Amino acid sequence: MASAHREGSLDLERLADCDNQAALEFLERLPGIGRWTAEYVLLRGLGRLDVFPGDDVGARNNLARFLGRTRPLDYEGVRRAVAKWQPFAGFVYFHLLLDRIRDAGWMNTKDAGSAALQHRAA
């Protein structure tokens, strides 16, 4: 994907004008890009705050925990669970991510980046 973009044969700017479904279909046609990556690009890269990357296993687990579910959610279960928060499901995604980062203690130190690196090295 990077080489195609560099060579000019991939116009990512056009994604801004596409609806979510068209953008997902475009991205998923690219080699190595699956649904999770495509949804994450829409959320982070294009600021589509209605997107909750339902294939993100960590996010699924965080959402299930937040909802008090004892069983894991599948993709469709995530979609149904976040429907009530639309068009802001992406905010829920980020909230749950930041909640887990806080719980891990990475936000409670003067150097959160250093704490994260120490955690990874362990």
Q: CA-to-CA distance for 94 and 65, rounded, in angstroms? A: 15
E strands, 5-120, where? none
First and final C-alpha spacing in the chain: 33
E strands, 1-122, where? none
pLDDT for res 4: 64
- Active-site hit among 17, 56, 74, 103: 56
Known catalytic residue at 56: yes
pLDDT for res 73: 94
Judge contact between 43 and 23, C-beta under 8 A: no
Judge contact between 53 and 59, C-beta under 8 A: yes
Block mean pLDDT (10 aa), the chain, length 122: 66 87 93 94 94 95 94 95 97 94 77 56 55
Q: What is the pTM of this model?
A: 0.78
Tokens encoding 47: 């600021």
